[in-house]
Amino acid sequence: MKFKCSKDELIKGLNSVSKTVATKTTLPIQEGILIETIGDNIKLTTNDLEIGTEYTLKAEIESMGTTVIDMKTFNEIIRKIESNEITFEVNNGIFVIKSTSGVFKLQTMNADEYKRLPVFNVEKQIEISQKLFKEMVKKTVFAASVDINRPVYTGVLITVNGNVIDVVAIDGYRMAIKKELLDSYTSDFKAIIPAKVLTEVIKSIDDEDNKKVKIGVNRNQALFEMGECTVVSRIIDGDFINYNNVLPAEADTKVTINRRGLLDAIERVAIFSRDVSEKDKKIPVKVSIKLDSLEVSCVSVTGDAKEIVNSVVEGKELEIGFNPKFLMDALRVIEDEEINIELGTSISPLVIKPLAGNTYIYMVLPIKLKEE
């Protein structure tokens, strides 16, 4: 095995596959990277047995072959080499890296023992703009659960119905839904993809409208194809809640407000929401809806704070409490300058929507406020 390739192109590939290397595994070989020559290309593969990534790049192939080497060491060497053109070869079980200024040698592992990405028949498939899919995931994935005792909700539901695609995440306290129209339609499907998989997928996505990501599924697995990069993931088995049924039917109070102004106010007030008696626990912030403004406040043992944000209010005045993180998470990923906030009572969910339409919906449950 011998080939030559560009350092810059190789680093692009390593960036794509580095996050799916196995750690703390009973199969040490999966901590390595599989390198193989295919035609005029080399293919890089990593696989932690839940998610795997392949990346293909152009190379000058002198002799064909396949090998596995330690990913961490290989990654560090490539990033520190100064020359852009690097030669690689395998001699007597040793992987040799040659640059203009030095030679590095790594012990190889038996490629036959490496668990490759599964090959499966795609039963249903769609194509969507990479930029649009990245936006849909970013606006929802943060709301997925981290509770391994509820595995279904550690995933993100992707639903295709006609030419409409929904991406939905729920953790029991909040829910994020992003809806879009597809340019082309193949077939309906539902698949729950691990949240950490989608987080890695969007790292390999370009912010260009003309580039597409192909999403293919069968009963157990999902495939994401993005040009040179392919990600294969398991699908989480289980039943996702009927998310449309949990949205409030109507609201008694509607607030139109500047998103950035509200986020800044909550961030400042939330400084006082830390509970010094219990790590990571948040004292709720109080949101008070007035006739012409929204007030955010918090009182704790460290002090208190209050911010007023101008807004347009329709309906009843209201006081309600929230975990500030749950509000800030959504406000940080929304790009709209103005948003609508809909509320019912002090014990019903708060819903954030765009000014027009329902392409994005974020719902969060309140926290009961202590009586002052």
Specify if 118 maps to a domain: no
Specify if 295 maps to a domain: yes
Q: Please tell me whether residues 178 and 266 are part of one structural domain.
A: no
Specify if 369 maps to a domain: no
Q: Please tell me whether residues 295 and 216 are part of one structural domain.
A: no
Q: Please tell me whether residues 103 and 195 are part of one structural domain.
A: no
Please tell me the predicted confidence (pLDDT) of residue 214.
93
Final residue belonging to a domain, choices 195, 219, 243: 243
Q: Please tell me whether residues 104 and 136 are part of one structural domain.
A: no
Say which CATH number the domain at 75 has.
Answer: 3.10.150.10
The Cα 45–Cα 76 span in angstroms is 17
Question: Rounded mean pLDDT of 86-100?
Answer: 94
Q: Please tell me whether residues 175 and 276 are part of one structural domain.
A: no
The mean predicted confidence, pLDDT, of the chain is: 92
Q: Please tell me whether residues 261 and 220 are part of one structural domain.
A: no
pLDDT tens-digit profile of 283-300? Answer: 899 999 998 899 999 998
Please tell me the predicted confidence (pLDDT) of residue 183.
86
Question: Rounded mean pLDDT of 183-206?
Answer: 89
Please tell me the predicted confidence (pLDDT) of residue 276.
52
183 or 89: whose pLDDT is higher? Answer: 89
pLDDT of 278 > 70? The answer is: no
Specify if 371 maps to a domain: no
Specify if 202 maps to a domain: yes
pTM of the complete model = 0.90
User: What residues make up the domain containing 23?
Assistant: 2-113
Final residue belonging to a domain, choices 243, 264, 299: 243
pLDDT tens-digit profile of 30-51? Answer: 999 999 999 999 999 999 988 9
Q: Please tell me whether residues 234 and 261 are part of one structural domain.
A: no
Question: Rounded mean pLDDT of 325-344?
Answer: 96
pLDDT tens-digit profile of 210-220? Answer: 889 999 999 89
pLDDT of 209 > 90? The answer is: no
Final residue belonging to a domain, choices 212, 243, 274: 243
pLDDT tens-digit profile of 127-169? Answer: 999 999 999 999 999 999 999 999 999 999 999 999 999 999 9
Q: Please tell me whether residues 258 and 206 are part of one structural domain.
A: no
